[in-house]
Amino acid sequence: MTTRSTLRILVSGASIAGPVLAYWLTRHGFSVTVVERAPTPRRTGGHAVDLFRPAMTISEKMGVLPRIEERATGTSRMTLHQESARRPVRVDLSKIFRAASDRHIEVMRDDLSEIYYDAARDDVEYLFNDSITALSPDGEVRFENAPPRRFDLVVGADGLHSNVRRLVFGDESRFSTFIGAYLGVLTLPNVSALDNELLIHVGVGRTAGMYGARHLGDARALFLFRSEHALDYHHHDVPRQKELLRDAFDGLHPDVDDWLDELDRTPAFYFDSITQLRMDTWSQGRVTLVGDAGYCPGPAVGGSTSLAVVGAYVLAGELARAAGDHEHAFPAYEHAMAPHIRGTHAAALSATKTLIPTSRLGVRGLAQGARLISALPAGPSRTLLRLTTKSARLYNSMTIDDYPPSQGRDSSATDPGGAPGPE
Ligand SMILES: Cc1cc2nc3c(=O)[nH]c(=O)nc-3n(C[C@H](O)[C@H](O)[C@H](O)COP(=O)(O)OP(=O)(O)OC[C@H]3O[C@@H](n4cnc5c(N)ncnc54)[C@H](O)[C@@H]3O)c2cc1C
């Protein structure tokens, strides 16, 4: 008989979804191992991500909200230049954030990852610098480095290009939908001397922004551009990706040229298509997926970090509710997440249209909408934003069940599914 405390769960990926899931699984009395390809836990860096109301509530329950608030990026102003317009639009960004959601915080992804990792590091076994190479239906897992081991359940929390998803469900191309845009991010010195400010240049089909974080010495430049067709490049061919970025932003503004000049010196560069992951079901046998691995609405456009936090909390909660019986828990988890996923996927498509306008009218609309919202008092601006964006409505209206942790970690609840016991 397998009890919760002996039910062994392997999680692949230690960024956002992985550590949040590991935290809640241990609080519900399960035994957790996390395997992460990177050699160490993530440290300050990456890009800025958003935590909206439900993810903030979950973080509060984990007791980590004060640490997250301490690390908030502090970006409170935006200066928006429209291509060929003489005067920029200055916007009170904190007002837009407040209008967008009654609870929101922006934080660097690696700060957030570190905070979530710290929350349960003593209760979880972490295997860094490793990756799963094979999963067999009887629970045997093979790794690149560690010897084979047996687990009762396996969860892929390994991001948009998930390894677990590939091993269990097949090639990524079966599930990913290109939504007509690309994304590039680079780390650079704060060449535009920004202080709590987002500087953004918008043209037809292309948007570039730069921001710094209060506690980071450097800054990030983010590039979003449209392309009707998938571009021709290999995902390891970084010089080609940089060339595509230079071509797409040629002539937008001298600020943007300065940011692009840093491409040859940047210590960190990211380039990818904006892809939405659509799966009818993301559980098979003893394996399921969480976060971007299972249902990414699109990086940088869909609030996917909040969705990853919510997904991890719900999955752990449903496993606890079903006393570890994955045959009940996985469908319940998918059922609970389905409306949130549908909503965020639709919101991401709408955000992509707004953020990367397809016409001059769209560029003006983005600038004027931002100016209007920041000029109005909080109440009317929130109403306006609710009328114009899907994400705001969505995150404010998301309701998530409460899954209180078990009384005592060592619950003796049985697994009715009769999962094979540890070796
Ligand atoms: C450029 C960019 C900008 C973004 N901007 C925003 C934003 O503004 N707001 C927002 O909410 N979200 C944003 N996102 C999305 C956000 O980063 C993700 O939604 C969030 O990090 C999802 O967390 P995750 O844990 O599901 O996956 P990820 O953060 O992708 O983490 C996956 C983890 O799995 C590990 N891994 C990968 N392969 C393996 C393997 N084979 N074995 C073991 N481990 C593996 C990786 O090293 C990583 O640690 C952005 C993403 C990008 C790329």
Query: For residue 314, what pLDDT is reported?
Result: 98
Burial of residue 362 (CB within 10 Å: 0-12, 13-18, 19+) is middle
Beta bridge partners of 287: 154, 284
Sequence-separated (6 or more) residues with CB below 8 Å from residue 9: 25, 30, 31, 32, 33, 151, 152, 153, 154, 155, 319
CA-CA-CA-CA torsion sign (188, 193, 199, 201):
negative
Pick from 30, 25, 8, 2: which is nearest to 410 by CA?
A: 30
Flag whether pLDDT at 10 surpasses 90: yes
Rg of the chain in Å (alpha carbons): 22
- Ligand 1 centre distance from Cα of residue 412 (Å): 35
Pick from 303, 308, 232, 222: which is nearest to 268 by CA?
A: 222
- Ligand 1 centre distance from Cα of residue 2 (Å): 33
Query: For residue 309, what pLDDT is reported?
Result: 97
- Ligand 1 centre distance from Cα of residue 292 (Å): 7
Least confident of 121-130, 202-211, 391-400, 408-417: 408-417
CB of 291 shorter than 6 A to ligand 1: yes
- Ligand 1 centre distance from Cα of residue 255 (Å): 28
Q: To which H or E segment does residue 100 belong?
A: helix 93-100
DSSP code for 278: -
Integer Cα distance of 173 and 156 in angstroms: 17
Please work out, in degrees rounded to the nearest 5, the angle formed at the alpha carbon of residue 97 by the alpha carbons of 73 and 249.
70
pLDDT range class, residue 214, cuts 50, 70, 90: low
Mean pLDDT, all residues of the chain? 87
Q: What confidence tens digit (pLDDT) does each residue in 123-151 have?
A: 999 999 999 999 998 899 999 999 999 99
Beta bridge partners of 189: 218
- Ligand 1 centre distance from Cα of residue 45 (Å): 12
Integer Cα distance of 246 and 186 in angstroms: 13
Pick from 237, 236, 234, 242: which is nearest to 260 by CA?
A: 242
Q: What confidence tens digit (pLDDT) does each residue in 371-402 have?
A: 776 666 555 555 555 545 566 567 777 889 99
CB of 33 shorter than 6 A to ligand 1: no
Sequence-separated (6 or more) residues with CB below 8 Å from residue 257: none
CB of 12 shorter than 6 A to ligand 1: yes
Flag whether pLDDT at 19 surpasses 60: yes
Integer Cα distance of 168 and 134 in angstroms: 9
Mean pLDDT across the stretch 259-282? Answer: 93
Sequence-separated (6 or more) residues with CB below 8 Å from residue 288: 153, 155, 156, 282, 294, 315, 326, 330, 333
Ligand 1 mutation target, pool 164, 304, 307, 341, most atoms within 8 A of CB: 304
Pick from 387, 379, 391, 382: which is nearest to 355 by CA?
A: 391
CB of 198 shorter than 6 A to ligand 1: no
Flag whether pLDDT at 422 surpasses 50: no
Pick from 406, 171, 162: which is nearest to 293 by CA?
A: 162
Higher pLDDT, 421 or 223: 223
Flag whether pLDDT at 288 surpasses 70: yes
Flag whether pLDDT at 250 surpasses 80: yes
Q: What confidence tens digit (pLDDT) does each residue in 319-331 have?
A: 999 999 999 999 9
Give Cα separations from 22 to 26, 134, 308, 351 (angstroms): 6, 21, 13, 31
CB of 221 shorter than 6 A to ligand 1: no
Q: What is the pTM of this model?
A: 0.91
